[in-house]
Structure 1
């Protein structure tokens, strides 16, 4: 997979331009010295409280698969949720493997805290092993509960019942971030070789319709060779306990969406990953990243040796944004320096295709509309709470190629 990614990047290396530090106030660039701390090892080095991080190096190895302990499909369990329930009840501290046969599995999957370390993997190509559900964050919690549990997937006494009830009994007007296909609260989770799609997709207007494919809340979550597809809020790399660090490693994965579709509080590293911005629901102004990093913690998202692309419509009218800060929880107060989360992201050693605003690739913050500002002075503080923390280093920027007559491309279906 990594070789295929490298070949694809090489094939797109036309009209390349470099990046020079310090960049501009709207497109800041790190120098070689400034970029040195921003490595996968650093982002994954610490655990514990944001206020008192503990050195606890996590060096995720390639996900190993073999004979599964639990089989989904065929003569095995009918759903991934049933297999997760079985693993939870079997208990213990040893890792357990859930193999999923090719097919489409409709419905949500909730993986509760206290589940043994799990590896859930596809027994086929990722595009052939599909976990799907249609859910929109704008519905009420009551409607969410009816849709998610229409077939009685969750019942009192089941391992995931508390997760289901936490959303079904919400007093908020909408389901919000409960609108996800797969939701994991367990540590040491590994997902490999699956496609997870929130099939709401283009059935709604271009307004605010959060529709998560995957939400992870706990430490040491590992994704490899995955396909995560939705439109708004595809992947939430979260830290459910807002006081504690949660680490995520993503490798050789395809992520598709149109609005803030990679977002959250986690310390997350994306390596060899393809991010693709689409215009099928929202014709312009789409945003890829919305990190929500704790204000005094220096490591949010790191994107390295990856590919960032946009579809043909964006290449014709380049209005896409690489990202913006989320500023979660500050809609009433506005951004409060040192108190409001201040998203941190470095995109480095990657290929950024055509379709993005080249002068101002970072949008104003999602919740507060705080304008993007970056320091470019000598000796700048990269964690200055009065400025944004969205950076680039040593990326390759490409212009749109002239398409061959009669040809189209769809990155979301090639893998």
Structure 2
């Protein structure tokens, strides 16, 4: 393609409706895609209920109820278990002192509202473990529970058992360092790393750092590091809405490393695509939003960047839909999840394909296509729902020609 053709194509993407490969919302179209709407509904996808959730900044007390580290609990899991057993409906705080804590952390459904936070910089409070989704459930159980840290009667035992007794060939999305199923959870000032990282080839090696399954989850000031599937903001009940608020958080990876079904708002975050394991075609976002629900992921006032490997050869992709469950049938409009995402008012750095920043869908390889018709329905199930609005930077549609 000639330089003139490239400039023309990118210029066309300056304004709504953009192109089928890089759609842009108009000001009117973008108006509903704000945090209040993404976080404003609970209940089922079939019958959502107005339920405004306006999460305030996470507060940490001078005297937490539980402490992990010197003169406290040896592990975060021990503190979570103690807080669960303490019970009640009042919020409980778990302070984690600087150090490296190796092992998984499972936060079960039925826990009281918990705030788990690092007392130092996030870089100094490290929760880490090495686990690959390609192992069998039996191998997963042996790796996660070598000394019997999860035992019958423990609060997290049902979570452990649900993965250890899987009949699937692999551990799948059980391969996570921190797994939370509790409502009203808050995590702050922690680094969570799946240390599998670059020890494997560039193939399919899901290795989650953090998985959240429940409603009203707050993540603030975290560092989440892995390669494939770093952060899963999930809705464990596929029929019900789960809301997640993520603020001032750094997320690193190379393949679908922010994904899930939740209604999630990312504010002031940094997403960094890295080439150390997979040096081309990396993808950041992979929502699998319920097809009839308007609100999946919202990224606002954030930074989307890539490392030098991608800057040199700009093949990075901002995201793709995850057509979960449709490998045998192909995408079924109105039935298969149809990932919804708006990136707005954010910086997009170099390293991304500026003409075609969205990849074909995961699971089905459904080609990316957005409607650019006059009066289009931005939730049309026959098209993708991955959008941009008012972004800037060298990787954005708005180029400084």
Fold match by TM threshold 0.5: yes
How many angstroms does 1:153 deviate by? 1.2
Cα separation, 2, equivalents of 1:77 and 1:152: 17
The answer for the alignment partner of 1:46 in structure 2 is 41
Q: 1:177 aligns with which of 173, 180, 183?
A: 173
User: Secondary structure, in 3 states, of the residue corresponding to 1:51?
Assistant: coil
The answer for the alignment partner of 1:203 in structure 2 is 199
Cα separation, 1, equivalents of 2:319 and 2:15: 20
Could you list the runs of 4 or more consecutive aligned residues of structure 1 that deviate by over 3 angstroms after TM superposition? none
The answer for the alignment partner of 1:281 in structure 2 is 277
The answer for the alignment partner of 2:144 in structure 1 is 148
Change in 2 beyond 3 A, CA 1:399/1:287: closer
Q: 1:65 aligns with which of 53, 60, 68?
A: 60
1:87 pairs with 2:90: no
Cα separation, 1, equivalents of 2:243 and 2:395: 34
Contact kept? 1:260, 1:289, Cα under 8 Å:
yes
Calculate the TM-score normalised by the size of structure 2: 0.95
Cα separation, 2, equivalents of 1:366 and 1:377: 25
1:37 pairs with 2:32: yes
How many angstroms does 1:398 deviate by? 1.6
How many angstroms does 1:399 deviate by? 6.2
Contact kept? 2:109, 2:181, Cα under 8 Å:
yes
Cα separation, 2, equivalents of 1:226 and 1:351: 20
Cα separation, 2, equivalents of 1:287 and 1:243: 27
Contact kept? 1:39, 1:302, Cα under 8 Å:
yes
The answer for the alignment partner of 1:21 in structure 2 is 16
How many angstroms does 1:378 deviate by? 1.0
Could you list the runs of 5+ residues in structure 2 that have no partner in the other structure? 1-10, 397-401
How many angstroms does 1:262 deviate by? 0.1
Calculate the TM-score normalised by the size of structure 1: 0.92
Alignment of 1:12-411 (within 5 A): 19-66=14-61, 67-398=63-394
The alignment yields a C-alpha RMSD, in angstroms, of: 1.2
Cα separation, 1, equivalents of 2:338 and 2:149: 38
How many angstroms does 1:215 deviate by? 0.2
How many angstroms does 1:261 deviate by? 0.1
How many angstroms does 1:397 deviate by? 2.6
Residues 83-133 of structure 1 deviation map (CA, whole Å, 9 limit, x = unaligned): 000000000000000000000000000000000000000010000000000
Residues 15-38 of structure 1 deviation map (CA, whole Å, 9 limit, x = unaligned): xx9931110000000000100000
Change in 2 beyond 3 A, CA 1:61/1:399: closer
User: Secondary structure, in 3 states, of the residue corresponding to 2:29?
Assistant: helix
Cα separation, 2, equivalents of 1:19 and 1:250: 28
User: Secondary structure, in 3 states, of the residue corresponding to 1:188?
Assistant: coil
Cα separation, 2, equivalents of 1:35 and 1:153: 48
User: Secondary structure, in 3 states, of the residue corresponding to 2:210?
Assistant: strand
Contact kept? 2:353, 2:395, Cα under 8 Å:
no
Could you list the runs of 5+ residues in structure 1 that have no partner in the other structure? 1-16, 401-415
Contact kept? 1:228, 1:254, Cα under 8 Å:
yes
Cα separation, 2, equivalents of 1:166 and 1:269: 29
User: Secondary structure, in 3 states, of the residue corresponding to 2:374?
Assistant: coil
Contact kept? 2:348, 2:395, Cα under 8 Å:
no
Question: How many residues are treated as equivalent by the alignment?
Answer: 385
Cα separation, 1, equivalents of 2:107 and 2:54: 23
